[in-house]
Structure 1
Protein backbone atom coordinates (compact mmCIF):
# COMPACT_ATOMS: atom_id res chain seq x y z
CA UNK A 1 0.00 0.00 0.00
CA UNK A 2 1.31 3.45 -0.92
CA UNK A 3 0.78 5.82 1.99
CA UNK A 4 2.54 8.76 0.33
CA UNK A 5 -0.66 10.34 -0.97
CA UNK A 6 -3.09 11.99 1.46
CA UNK A 7 -6.45 10.28 1.53
CA UNK A 8 -8.99 9.33 4.15
CA UNK A 9 -8.23 5.65 3.54
CA UNK A 10 -4.49 6.16 4.02
CA UNK A 11 -5.11 8.25 7.12
CA UNK A 12 -7.24 5.47 8.56
CA UNK A 13 -4.47 2.91 7.92
CA UNK A 14 -1.84 5.15 9.50
CA UNK A 15 -3.95 5.91 12.57
CA UNK A 16 -4.80 2.23 13.06
CA UNK A 17 -1.11 1.31 12.86
CA UNK A 18 -0.20 4.11 15.27
CA UNK A 19 -2.81 2.83 17.69
CA UNK A 20 -1.28 -0.62 17.55
CA UNK A 21 2.31 0.59 17.82
CA UNK A 22 1.55 2.97 20.69
CA UNK A 23 -0.73 0.49 22.49
CA UNK A 24 -3.54 3.04 22.68
CA UNK A 25 -6.46 1.73 24.70
CA UNK A 26 -8.82 4.59 23.83
CA UNK A 27 -9.08 4.30 20.05
CA UNK A 28 -11.43 7.28 20.00
CA UNK A 29 -8.30 9.43 19.82
CA UNK A 30 -7.62 7.88 16.41
CA UNK A 31 -10.88 8.54 14.58
CA UNK A 32 -9.93 9.78 11.09
CA UNK A 33 -12.88 12.20 11.18
CA UNK A 34 -11.03 14.13 13.90
CA UNK A 35 -8.03 14.85 11.67
CA UNK A 36 -7.69 17.24 8.76
CA UNK A 37 -6.02 15.91 5.62
CA UNK A 38 -3.98 19.12 5.58
CA UNK A 39 -2.07 17.63 8.53
CA UNK A 40 -1.56 14.30 6.74
CA UNK A 41 2.16 14.89 6.16
CA UNK A 42 2.71 15.65 9.86
CA UNK A 43 0.88 12.47 10.87
CA UNK A 44 2.72 10.46 8.22
CA UNK A 45 6.06 11.78 9.52
CA UNK A 46 5.17 10.57 13.02
CA UNK A 47 4.15 7.21 11.58
CA UNK A 48 7.45 6.92 9.69
CA UNK A 49 9.47 7.77 12.82
CA UNK A 50 7.64 5.18 14.90
CA UNK A 51 8.07 2.50 12.23
CA UNK A 52 11.78 3.33 11.94
CA UNK A 53 12.32 3.40 15.71
CA UNK A 54 10.47 0.17 16.45
CA UNK A 55 10.03 -0.30 20.19
CA UNK A 56 9.27 2.88 22.07
CA UNK A 57 9.75 3.73 25.69
CA UNK A 58 6.72 4.84 27.66
CA UNK A 59 7.96 8.43 27.53
CA UNK A 60 8.44 8.30 23.75
CA UNK A 61 4.96 6.83 23.26
CA UNK A 62 3.48 9.58 25.43
CA UNK A 63 5.33 12.23 23.41
CA UNK A 64 3.87 10.84 20.18
CA UNK A 65 0.39 10.82 21.71
CA UNK A 66 0.83 14.45 22.71
CA UNK A 67 1.84 15.32 19.16
CA UNK A 68 -1.19 13.49 17.76
CA UNK A 69 -3.43 15.51 20.05
CA UNK A 70 -1.90 18.71 18.67
CA UNK A 71 -2.82 17.86 15.07
CA UNK A 72 -6.40 16.87 15.81
CA UNK A 73 -9.14 19.22 14.63
Structure 2
Protein backbone atom coordinates (compact mmCIF):
# COMPACT_ATOMS: atom_id res chain seq x y z
CA UNK A 1 0.00 0.00 0.00
CA UNK A 2 1.43 3.34 -1.07
CA UNK A 3 0.11 6.03 1.26
CA UNK A 4 1.53 8.69 -1.05
CA UNK A 5 -1.44 7.95 -3.32
CA UNK A 6 -4.37 10.11 -2.28
CA UNK A 7 -7.36 7.82 -2.48
CA UNK A 8 -10.32 6.71 -0.39
CA UNK A 9 -8.84 3.30 0.39
CA UNK A 10 -5.67 4.80 1.86
CA UNK A 11 -7.65 7.39 3.82
CA UNK A 12 -9.83 4.67 5.34
CA UNK A 13 -6.77 2.54 6.13
CA UNK A 14 -5.09 5.40 7.99
CA UNK A 15 -8.20 6.20 10.05
CA UNK A 16 -8.60 2.55 11.02
CA UNK A 17 -4.94 2.27 12.00
CA UNK A 18 -5.15 5.44 14.10
CA UNK A 19 -8.21 4.06 15.87
CA UNK A 20 -6.44 0.79 16.59
CA UNK A 21 -3.28 2.46 17.84
CA UNK A 22 -5.21 4.80 20.12
CA UNK A 23 -7.45 1.95 21.26
CA UNK A 24 -10.38 4.26 20.84
CA UNK A 25 -13.38 3.04 22.78
CA UNK A 26 -15.54 5.38 20.74
CA UNK A 27 -14.01 4.19 17.49
CA UNK A 28 -17.46 3.72 16.00
CA UNK A 29 -17.90 7.48 16.14
CA UNK A 30 -14.79 7.95 14.01
CA UNK A 31 -15.97 6.40 10.75
CA UNK A 32 -13.63 6.80 7.78
CA UNK A 33 -16.60 7.86 5.67
CA UNK A 34 -16.85 11.03 7.82
CA UNK A 35 -13.59 12.29 6.32
CA UNK A 36 -13.08 13.84 2.92
CA UNK A 37 -10.23 13.03 0.56
CA UNK A 38 -9.57 16.77 0.57
CA UNK A 39 -8.25 16.27 4.12
CA UNK A 40 -5.86 13.54 3.04
CA UNK A 41 -2.67 15.45 3.89
CA UNK A 42 -3.94 16.39 7.35
CA UNK A 43 -4.98 12.80 8.07
CA UNK A 44 -1.60 11.60 6.80
CA UNK A 45 0.16 13.99 9.21
CA UNK A 46 -1.87 12.64 12.14
CA UNK A 47 -1.27 9.06 10.99
CA UNK A 48 2.50 9.60 10.75
CA UNK A 49 2.64 11.06 14.26
CA UNK A 50 0.54 8.29 15.78
CA UNK A 51 2.45 5.48 14.08
CA UNK A 52 5.87 6.76 15.13
CA UNK A 53 4.99 6.91 18.83
CA UNK A 54 5.39 3.81 20.94
CA UNK A 55 3.61 5.37 23.91
CA UNK A 56 1.35 8.37 24.15
CA UNK A 57 0.25 10.38 27.14
CA UNK A 58 -3.42 10.97 27.83
CA UNK A 59 -3.02 14.59 26.77
CA UNK A 60 -1.43 13.51 23.45
CA UNK A 61 -4.30 11.10 22.77
CA UNK A 62 -6.82 13.82 23.64
CA UNK A 63 -5.09 16.25 21.28
CA UNK A 64 -5.12 13.71 18.44
CA UNK A 65 -8.77 12.85 19.01
CA UNK A 66 -9.57 16.56 19.10
CA UNK A 67 -7.75 17.13 15.81
CA UNK A 68 -9.57 14.22 14.18
CA UNK A 69 -12.85 15.63 15.43
CA UNK A 70 -11.97 19.01 13.93
CA UNK A 71 -11.12 17.39 10.60
CA UNK A 72 -14.27 15.30 10.67
CA UNK A 73 -16.38 18.39 11.23
CA UNK A 74 -15.27 20.07 7.99
Is the pair's TM-score, using the shorter chain for normalization, greater than 0.5?
A: yes
Taking the aligned partners of 1:44 and 1:29, their CA distance within structure 2 comes to: 19
Which residue in 1 is equivalent to 2:52? 52
Taking the aligned partners of 1:9 and 1:64, their CA distance within structure 2 comes to: 21
Tell me the TM-score normalized by structure 1. Answer: 0.90
RMSD: 1.1
Unaligned runs of 5+ in 1: none
Which residue in 2 is equivalent to 1:70? 70
Taking the aligned partners of 1:27 and 1:42, their CA distance within structure 2 comes to: 19
How far did 1:61 drift?
A: 0.5
Where do 1:21-36 residues align within 5 Å? 21-36=21-36
How far did 1:28 drift?
A: 2.3
Matched residue pairs, number?
73
Taking the aligned partners of 1:17 and 1:69, their CA distance within structure 2 comes to: 16
Whether contact under 8 Å (2:12, 2:33) holds in the other structure is no
